[in-house]
Chains A and B, each alone.
Chain A
């Protein structure tokens, strides 16, 4: 149980285009999901919190107009990188917590590697 999937696993796009990344909780419901970014050989940095039925909240320094988040249902959150530039190239990872779980344990997707050329 407690599986989170992401799609696509890898994407290459041209500068100026937009890319959508999907995050799904496969066997549980998640009112709240999280998006992280990881640069090579660095730790994970929280970008934003995705809330089903309401607007996402962004961490300081993260441009909300560049990273659009939509939490369409209790099992799906999407991150759209708009007008992507080479500096947006990174590894994007989502996480979710089972709404029914007693603990605060979070489960992470396998990540999406974005390369902007």
Chain B
């Protein structure tokens, strides 16, 4: 089955720093989402981005489907950005079933 790997697994930043999180997937996908899981476990939708580039405030994402990767950029990080970031890809076209990546655990220090 499709494999979804994220890097780095852990990241510690000073407040105000920028970072890039990467999501690699082993097969072509039609749908991809980025999530932030907060300390209480809630998954917050960041981007639905099967291809192309999107921006939302300090966050932006780019998916290059032909090269099987997606990037999440966080600029001017804040302590509230701490948590785990997951990418998820659809397994098989039209199934709506998501395979989650391994996650990146981010800690932003004040």
A interface residue numbers (CB < 8 A to B): 32, 34, 36, 38, 43-46, 49, 91, 93, 95, 97, 103-108, 110-111, 113
Contacts and interface: CB of A to CB of B under 8 A. Distances in A.
Contact of A104 (B31, B42, B99, B102): B31
A105 B33 contact: yes
Question: Among the interface residues A32, A36, A44, A103, which one has the most CB atoms of the partner chain B within 10 A?
Answer: A44
A46 B45 contact: no
Interface of B: 30-31, 33, 35, 40-43, 45, 48, 50, 86, 88, 90, 96-103
29 contacts: A34-B96, A34-B97, A36-B100, A43-B101, A43-B102, A44-B88, A45-B100, A49-B96, A91-B41, A93-B41, A93-B43, A95-B43, A95-B98, A97-B96, A103-B31, A103-B48, A104-B30, A104-B50, A104-B90, A104-B96, A105-B48, A106-B96, A106-B98, A107-B45, A108-B35, A108-B43, A110-B40, A110-B41, A110-B42
A36 B97 CA distance: 11
A14 to B, nearest CB: 23
Contacts of B97: 34, 46, 49
A36 B37 CA distance: 14
Say what secondary structure dominates the interface of chain A: strand
Contact of B42 (A32, A43, A46, A111): A111
